[in-house]
Structure 1
Amino acid sequence: MAAMIVTSTDKVRAMAKYLSQQQGIRENVNFLDNRLKALASKMRAYPERLRVDAAFHLPFRDQQMVDDTKGITVTPLLAADAVDRAIYGLTALLIERGSQHPCETLRVPGVIALPADWIKELDYLNGIKSEIESLIVQIEDQHERSKVWKTWPYMSGLQAMRKTWIANGPKKVTFFWESAPSVLNKTAKEWIAHYSDYLKKLHGHIPKLNELDEGDKSSKFVMLIAELQRDCKPNENIAAFRPGQPHVRARVTFHDSQKLRLRPAPTPIVYEYGDSVPTIIPLSNWEPEVSTPKRETRKQMISTVPVVDGLWFYRYLESYRYG
């Protein structure tokens, strides 16, 4: 999900429309769920009104994090399997119990032609998803966000906010994998302030480790604060570094003068039935890259040892800690 900037005006507008952000999210998610279920029923009742030009099965990893050492096998889907999975990819909000880990989202990349009325419905529901996203980002406390999503058993918040890519007159669709690391840089003082505020909102104060129950996830942030205070100067740069995880993207060109579009494509790209079928370059298997970097990168400046085991926080190597 792309980052959104929330202003005080946004919050005032939301409060004028809803009793609270939480109430607005619940109202919109329930509405979205009902409309998507109705649309899925129509699609399954009238499969002759749609055409799946491509659909790919990606296995669930059944664990929280991607195993960087394993490849991902992509299986092209055909006939009824392609139709069923494409519809599911467009309309599913819930985690697939028994297969999908709560921390991963459903991925069914593909290309599907739909009639204008169904596309209009998906476009309208994209607006509802945007409304949900605008409300969720106004809840600053991550714990409070999690509580909202727990309103619905097995609900995937990311799937509820993920919008359908509607392409107008696509000429060529090229699927590919991309993997790039994420690095957020702040000083030790800034990270300490950030997680001190987080713990105060969660517990009312900054607790000691012996105050927390065994397995309490916030204990790692208590440890992080203690380690940063003990070992680091306030102005030392600390990286929140997450290794790049493979995700599906698509490059789409068009018949008219529209500019090339390049964006994530975890679920089917839709276009209007009756338009010419685009050329499709299918998604290949993901193979972990093993190569020696040719130049010094940000990753090479960062220690391989985390500040606290289980968290993505790392000190820079000594030559790069300041400035």
Structure 2
Amino acid sequence: MPHYLSPQQGIKEQVGILEERLEALGNKMRASPDRLRVDASYLIPFRDQAEVDETKGITVTPLDGSEALQRVIYGLTSTRIEPGKQNPRETLRVPAVLALPHDWLHELVELNGVRQEIERLAGEIEEQYERSKAWASMRYLSSLQVIRQTWIVSGPARIRFYWDASPSVQNKTAADWIKVYTKHLKKLHGYVPAIGELPEGDNSRKFVEAITSLSGISPRERIAAFRPGQPHVRARVSFIGTEPKALRPSPTPIVYPIDDPVPFIVPLSSYEAGELSEKKWSRTKIDLEPFVESMYLHRYLKQYRFSK
């Protein structure tokens, strides 16, 4: 395993390797399009804003021909956002099914290893603030597009694309949330400031407010940081043999050996606004009313507030 002066230096070094090899692979694909086959490709437009507008649907456009080819290659090899088109908080989505020769598949397997190493190095940077600085030091780099590994399958029989909006839930006790927020404030200010010391609009105010609210309940109570799920693309893959079905997010092309039989593909449809909203709370035991709205903190329903 390589040795680095710091995780930050290692990330920068590995990103350089990743981008160089991705560019070379993309150039090979463009130069020899007869060596690959695009079985399905879908265009999902950028929303060009940080937050998802839940009142709007998402139009999905099937692609074919050279347009599909170029989009799929871009989806496999892009690591940076498109200035003026892609919001920094928005990730690239290019769901597709792509058949490749074994040498290119082998290269993608190795590149997945590079992505995994970058993710490992990022995990060694404990502070979120420092991780963000590391990513921001490389202009327009998308951390998610860098660490997102290519889904490589063998012998797919059926691939079904669909939309999902599962929520994100992180659990800690009230005492543990206070520790997290206290550490963050001390990192920024050297101490935990009083709310009156911070000007209106200061991002630190919400951390102070959360500490105050959490201090008023039992330190052992379980509190959830609950973020309603945003619509995202998933795929369900069944296989020719006895391998169990696979289910996972699929924002970038699914690739498989070109000498395998072509799988049956259930295409991705457009997303209708609100069609998944009823599922957001049904899967949880969390109080609908926010406890600390600015931090997405929710109490559990009374019977679930303490670990047994």
Same fold (TM over 0.5): yes
Do structure 1's residue 250 and structure 2's residue 253 form an aligned pair?
Answer: no
Amino acid at match of 1:97: P
Which deviations, in whole Å up to 9, do the C-alpha atoms of 1:123-179 show, x marking residues without a partner? 110000000111111111000000110121110001100000111121211111222
Q: In structure 2, what is the equivalent of residue 6 of structure 1?
A: none
- Listed as ranges, the matches of 1:115-264 within 5 Å are 115-209=101-195, 215-229=201-215, 231-264=216-249
Asked if the contact 2:170/2:226 (under 8 Å) is kept, the reply is yes
Asked if the contact 1:239/1:302 (under 8 Å) is kept, the reply is no
Q: In structure 1, what is the equivalent of residue 4 of structure 2?
A: 18
Q: In structure 2, what is the equivalent of residue 93 of structure 1?
A: 79
Distance 1:314 1:75, change over 3 A: same
Asked if the contact 1:209/1:219 (under 8 Å) is kept, the reply is yes
Which deviations, in whole Å up to 9, do the C-alpha atoms of 1:3-35 show, x marking residues without a partner? xxxxxxxxxxx7x71111111111101110111
Asked if the contact 2:290/2:296 (under 8 Å) is kept, the reply is no
Q: In structure 2, what is the equivalent of residue 70 of structure 1?
A: 56
Deviation at 1:291, TM superposition (A): 7.7
Aligned length: 305
Amino acid at match of 1:151: S
Deviation at 1:95, TM superposition (A): 0.7
Compute the RMSD of aligned alpha carbons: 2.3
Unaligned stretches of 5+ in structure 1? 1-13
Q: Report the Cα distance in structure 2 between the residues aligned to 1:263 and 1:206, rounded to whole angstroms.
A: 41
Q: Report the Cα distance in structure 1 between the residues aligned to 2:68 and 2:118, rounded to whole angstroms.
A: 29
Percent identity reads 54
TM-score normalised per structure 2: 0.90
Q: In structure 2, what is the equivalent of residue 44 of structure 1?
A: 30
SS of the residue corresponding to residue 184 of structure 2 reads helix
Do structure 1's residue 314 and structure 2's residue 298 form an aligned pair?
Answer: yes
Which deviations, in whole Å up to 9, do the C-alpha atoms of 1:272-303 show, x marking residues without a partner? 2232211111111222237868x97535x414
1:285 to 264, 270, 277: 270
1:61 to 44, 47, 56: 47
Amino acid at match of 2:244: K
